[in-house]
């Protein structure tokens, strides 16, 4: 087990370079096996979620070569085997092997995916999509088998614009016969990134990034070279940190448009941001205004940023509110922030942050990935020492977080306990 010990209260300056997006790469890796030739993906973040997916590739006899920041995936000797829970439970995104293997072999058997405990997180929309394409789904003791004689393109309307279901249906449909249209599709940048990879491999996908995606099935997919987009959630996390304790902190290698919902809320608070073509420079201010935030699908305010935003809102003069509309249970960081001196009340899907309050270091637990990011920000803001346990959650999604923060002047250490 790992513990992160943070000595807080130090201003941060310098540059933090943002890595490739976790929520893109976790779909790009399974998508690559749809090709019968070599696929090279660059700007791959070195996080434990990437490692977990590479383990699944190796289990399926896929040849994976890892160089600094890139992955070369060759699935010409791949074997379609049942993927057991020891592999799938490590992360939510293991479910992208469902769409990819179904698309490639017309059959997949795998255990339920894992991931952060932030609510029920069913996969009914994914399965409904596979069924609409002509597949039969059976579930035996949480081992799913999805198979079809033939996958046929069709019109699929998603009851909710789910990121996972949109990507999984695209993966299953690229090699299907005929045309598939996904309506009420999710519009997140990661979906565009996956569609671009598939198109580079020879797929015919139009409309990714809008709510209607058209996929014209092709016979086979080939070789390609592809780049992972910058991680907008990692970028947002560090911009928030800069608004709390930055002194000209530069967040570089980003697409600022991807975090516009965050930056406009920060500007409403009174944070001054210097937004360039691929960077943001941010410094901490005082006299921040309270704000109201409601999480929504893209381009709305990302649910993945509401937890990291919360400690910053303790600096505002007055009551800020956060309404979480995507997940049922994404307030597990709040009791720990309150132990650190915050005054935050949670009722149903809403939290009210009453500020300003000062944070003081104490012992806390990262219950999930973004709760962990919130506690890292709180620990860096706080006076004294914060010890965060269950750090493994954080390492699933933030590449070299300790090194990146030390480089800009933070005092923290990852310890084995």
Contact stretch for ligand EPU (CB under 6 A) within 158-166, 245-253, 384-392, 403-411: 158-166
Catalytic residue among 42, 54, 116, 224: 116
Q: Residue written as tokens 């609510």?
A: 119
| Residue 191 touches ligand EPU, criterion: CB under 6 A | no
SS3 annotation, the chain: CEEEEEECCCCEEEEEECCECHHHHHHHHHHHCCCCCEEEEECCCCCHHHHHHHHHHHHCCCEEEEECCEEEEECCCCCCCCECHHHHCCCHHHHHHHHHHHHHHCEEEEECCCCCCCCCCCCHHHHHHHHHCCCEEEEECCEEEEECCCCECCEEECCCCCHHHHHHHHHHHCCCECEEEEECCCCCHHHHHHHHHHHHCCCEEECECECEEEEECCCCCCCEEEECCECHHHHHHHHHHHHHHEEEEEEECCCHHHHHHHHHHHHHHCCCEEECCCEEEECCCCCCCCCEEEECCCCCECHHHHHHHHHHHCCCCEEEEEECCCCCCCCCCHHHHHHCCCCEEEECCEEEEEECCCCECCEEECCCHHHHHHHHHHHHHCECEEEEECCHHHHCCCCCHHHHHHHCCCEEEEEEC
| Residue 187 touches ligand EPU, criterion: CB under 6 A | no
User: CB atoms < 10 A from the CB of 100, how many?
Assistant: 25
| Out of 1, 68, 77, 120, the residue judged to bind ligand EPU by CB under 6 A | 120
Contact stretch for ligand EPU (CB under 6 A) within 117-125, 205-213, 274-282, 387-395: 117-125
Q: Of 125 and 359, which has the nearer Cβ to ligand EPU? A: 125
| Residue 122 touches ligand EPU, criterion: CB under 6 A | yes
Size of the site for ligand EPU (CB under 6 A): 28
Taking the complex as a whole, the smallest distance from the CB of residue 24 to ligand EPU amounts, in Å, to 8
| Out of 61, 76, 124, 138, the residue judged to bind ligand EPU by CB under 6 A | 124
Residues 76-95 that bind ligand EPU (CB under 6 A): 92-93
| Out of 369, 371, 374, 375, the residue judged to bind ligand EPU by CB under 6 A | 369
Taking the complex as a whole, the smallest distance from the CB of residue 311 to ligand EPU amounts, in Å, to 17
Adjacent-strand bridge partners of 205: 215
| Residue 139 touches ligand EPU, criterion: CB under 6 A | no
Contact stretch for ligand EPU (CB under 6 A) within 120-128, 144-152, 264-272, 346-354: 120-128
| Out of 370, 381, 386, 402, the residue judged to bind ligand EPU by CB under 6 A | 370
Binding mask 19-58 for ligand EPU (x = CB under 6 A): ----x--x--------------------------------
| Out of 121, 177, 223, 383, the residue judged to bind ligand EPU by CB under 6 A | 121
Separation CA 58–CA 27 (nearest Å): 16
Q: Of 214 and 234, which has the nearer Cβ to ligand EPU? A: 234
| Residue 394 touches ligand EPU, criterion: CB under 6 A | no
Residue whose Cβ sits closest to ligand EPU: 164
Residue 26 and residue 91 in contact, taking contact as beta carbons nearer than 8 Å: yes
| Out of 162, 180, 283, 284, the residue judged to bind ligand EPU by CB under 6 A | 162
| Residue 125 touches ligand EPU, criterion: CB under 6 A | yes
Examine the residue annotation and report whether 116 is marked as an active-site residue of this protein.
yes
Contact stretch for ligand EPU (CB under 6 A) within 8-16, 156-164, 332-340, 375-383: 156-164
| Out of 327, 331, 336, 398, the residue judged to bind ligand EPU by CB under 6 A | 327
Separation CA 4–CA 100 (nearest Å): 37
Provide the annotated active-site residues: 116
The binding site for ligand EPU (CB under 6 A) comprises 23, 26, 92-93, 116, 119-126, 160, 162-165, 186, 188, 233, 303-304, 326-327, 369-370, 397
């Amino acid at each position: 087990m790992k513990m992160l010990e943070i000595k807080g209260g130090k201003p941060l300056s310098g540059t933090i370079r943002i890595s490739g997006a976790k929520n893109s790469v976790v779909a790009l890796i399974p998508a690559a096996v749809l090709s019968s030739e070599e696929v090279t993906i660059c700007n791959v973040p070195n996080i434990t979620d990437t490692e977990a997916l590479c383990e699944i590739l190796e289990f399926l006899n896929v040849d994976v070569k890892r160089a600094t920041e890139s992955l070369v995936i060759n699935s010409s000797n791949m074997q379609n085997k049942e993927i057991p829970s020891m592999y799938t439970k490590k992360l939510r995104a293991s479910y992208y092997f469902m769409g990819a293997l179904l698309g490639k072999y017309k059959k997949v058997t795998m255990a339920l995916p894992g991931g952060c405990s932030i609510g029920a997180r069913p996969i009914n929309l994914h399965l409904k999509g596979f069924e609409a394409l002509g597949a039969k789904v059976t579930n035996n003791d949480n081992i799913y088998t999805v198979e079809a004689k033939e996958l046929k393109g069709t019109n699929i309307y998603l009851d909710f614009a789910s990121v996972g279901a949109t990507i999984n249906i695209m993966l299953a449909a690229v090699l299907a016969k005929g045309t598939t249209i996904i309506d009420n599709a999710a519009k997140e940048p990661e979906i565009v990134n996956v569609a671009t990879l598939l198109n580079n491999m020879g797929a015919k996908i139009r409309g990714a990034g809008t709510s209607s995606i058209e996929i014209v099935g092709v016979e086979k997919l080939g070789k390609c070279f592809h780049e992972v987009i910058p991680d907008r959630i990692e970028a947002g996390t560090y911009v928030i940190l800069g608004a709390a304790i930055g002194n000209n902190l530069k967040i570089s290698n980003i697409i600022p448009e991807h975090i516009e919902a965050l930056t406009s809320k920060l500007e409403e608070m009174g944070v001054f941001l210097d937004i360039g073509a691929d960077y943001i420079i941010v410094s901490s201010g005082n006299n921040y205004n309270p704000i109201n935030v409601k999480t929504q699908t893209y381009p709305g305010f990302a649910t993945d940023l509401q937890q990291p935003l919360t400690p910053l809102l303790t600096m505002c003069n007055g009551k800020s509110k956060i309404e979480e509309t995507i997940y049922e249970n994404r307030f597990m960081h709040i009791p720990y922030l309150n132990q650190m001196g915050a005054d935050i009340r949670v009722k149903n899907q809403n939290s009210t942050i009453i500020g300003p309050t000062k944070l003081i270091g104490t012992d806390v637990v990262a219950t999930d990935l973004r709760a962990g990011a919130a506690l890292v920000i709180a620990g860096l803001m706080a006076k004294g020492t914060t010890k965060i346990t269950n750090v493994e959650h954080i390492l699933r999604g933030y590449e070299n977080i300790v090194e990146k923060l030390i480089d800009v002047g933070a005092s923290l250490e990852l310890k084995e306990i």
